[in-house]
Amino acid sequence: MSAVAMIVFAFSGTPAFFPIAAEMRNPRHYTRSMLICQATVTTVYLVIGVVVYSFCGSYVASPALGSAGPLMKKVCYGIALPGLLVTMMIVSHVSLPCLSIRRELRSHPSQFPAKMLLVRFLSGSKHLTANTFTHWATWLSCTSGVVLLAYIIASAVPKFDSLIALIGALLGPPICLIPFGYMWLFDHWTRDRNEKNVRWWLMAAWSVFVIVVGVFLMVAGTYGAVVGLVRDYEGVGGKASWSCEDNSNSS
């Protein structure tokens, strides 16, 4: 279940679909763009995974760059570092918009977790859009708080695989799977009986299936991730957490 949770994590970028669709010049091109993007990402995942596993097998490190050897590992991390920093900035901002603040964010198509907190705190106030000290203090506190929370979680979990599995199981399904089944049912459940053809019933069954699978993955995956975390702590004696030990070559 932890391995399945890591796969869910790999495809958990769906919250970014909303701001992308909102800012497209022609939203009708969204489906085509999404399919191209997901096909490209899946192909890259498969190619890299197959190549790395063919050379390293079950001894592949986590992260996989640790399997490249001491020198190549340093070179690869040096090249990847700018991309990792940019990814960190994107992930710390992009998030699924909450329905409770959808009205306030209707004029702001890009939805960010720090921005969502900002709107929540300053909604109905002049400081929401004004260049004031309160606005900037709240904004910097939100962004710093999101990054600090992520740092605490990443430092408390000693192994990369366990961290990815926990995030993919605990946060992946309720953000990236379950809501979309509910969305389709919410938009189409009230159709007239004459409009509920075979395609409608198939889509309804698929939406229910997605919800059930998402709940199962969340519960079972979280349990598997927690069991893995306990074993990791027992294996290292709890020394890897909040330490400067090199965990870039853990297997």
pLDDT surpassing 60 at residue 132: yes
What's the whole-number average pLDDT of the chain? Answer: 80
User: Would you place residue 131 in the very low, low, confident or very high pLDDT band (cuts 50, 70, 90)?
Assistant: confident
CA dihedral for 97, 90, 175, 127, sign (positive or negative): negative
Question: 143 Cβ partners below 8 Å, 6+ apart?
Answer: 92, 93, 114
- Prior bond to 63 cis, omega within 30? yes
How many whole angstroms from its chain centre is CA 221? 15
Name the residue ranges covered by the structural domains of the chain: 1-62+159-251, 93-157
Q: Which of 65-69, 161-165, 224-228, 242-246 has the lowest mean pLDDT?
A: 242-246
Predicted confidence (pLDDT) at residue 43 exceeds the cutoff of 90: yes
For residue 168, the Cα-to-chain-centroid distance in whole angstroms is 7
User: pLDDT for 165-180, tens place per residue?
Assistant: 888 888 888 888 898 8
Rounded CA-CA distance 237/65 in Å is 25
